[in-house]
Amino acid sequence: MKLIIHGGFFSESSTNLETKKAKQDALAEIVTLGHQYLKNHTALETVVYTVALLEDNELFNAGIGSQIQSDGKVRLSAALMDGKTEKFSGVINVEDVRHPVELSLKLMDYDDRVLSGAGAQNFARKNGFDFFNPITAQRQQEYQAKLNQQNNKGTVGCVALDKDGNIAAATSTGGKGFEIPCRVSDSATVAGNYANQFAGISCTGVGEDIVSGALAAKIVTRVTDGFSLKDAADKSFKELKAFDGFAGVVGITAGGEIYHCDSHPYMVWASFDVNLQVFS
């Protein structure tokens, strides 16, 4: 049983050491809780549980504390993929929902498994997801001041390998801040979140770069074709250099290989294999 999570990027020039440590401490706690949960649950259940914990922590750009778009609204995107069934589900630009990753799980049982905007919100209300405003006081202040958000590139994500050898991946984001309303990120696409029976990947970074590189699906496909996870990721990241792609990934293979890499420092992440690891 293995678990790896990420909390997106932060800029060392604009983020103090106290904030960095707070993020690392939060990741350590969440990955430990997730690994404990994994002992008695499937990989699919675990990635939803773990990403929901990340969505509930305002240190990260997902769920509570998400970035505000240029029209003053928060729109959330999340996705889920079950490596066993190879089913993908997700929501794009949904408003007023606390846990978009849980809404993605609800969609897994439907034929129409990726919903956006008002359709996603209506589906949420019909399925018992109550109104929730994810804007924190800090995010509102940042929006009012129109701060430069270019150093706040990030999402949250989780990849899990359960005791039966099944893999699942989940990713959630609050966007990049001040973007054109309803801009679509990578998180609810197979570029940003992908899993099959061989490997699972969750991405963070600049969504447009991740989509251009088809990153998550490309890495998993290469593992499926016989690459190690490290070699698959490293080769895929070399291909991002053609357009200076900004990205980070965490992943696990069915054989238990666990790996992370990023094109620009500093991605924060944590894993739990035999021991807890937290790094940035």
Q: Which one from 50, 155, 173, 189 is the annotated catalytic residue?
A: 155
From CA 65, how far away is CA 56, in angstroms rounded? 9
**Bond from prior residue into 194 cis (ω within 30 degrees of 0):** no
What span, in angstroms and rounded, lies between the C-alpha atoms of 108 and 90?
8
- Strand (E) or helix (H) holding 142: helix 137-145
* Contacts of residue 275, Cβ cutoff 8 Å, sequence gap at least 6: none
The answer to whether the CB of 126 falls within 8 A of the CB of 113 is no
What is the number of residues in the chain? 280
Check if 173 is active-site: no
Cβ atoms 113, 89 nearer than 8 A:
yes
**At 29, is the secondary structure helix, strand, or coil?**
helix
CB neighbour list of residue 273: distance below 8 Å, 6 or more residues apart: 2, 256, 258
Structure tokens at 35: 């690994």
Known catalytic residues are 155
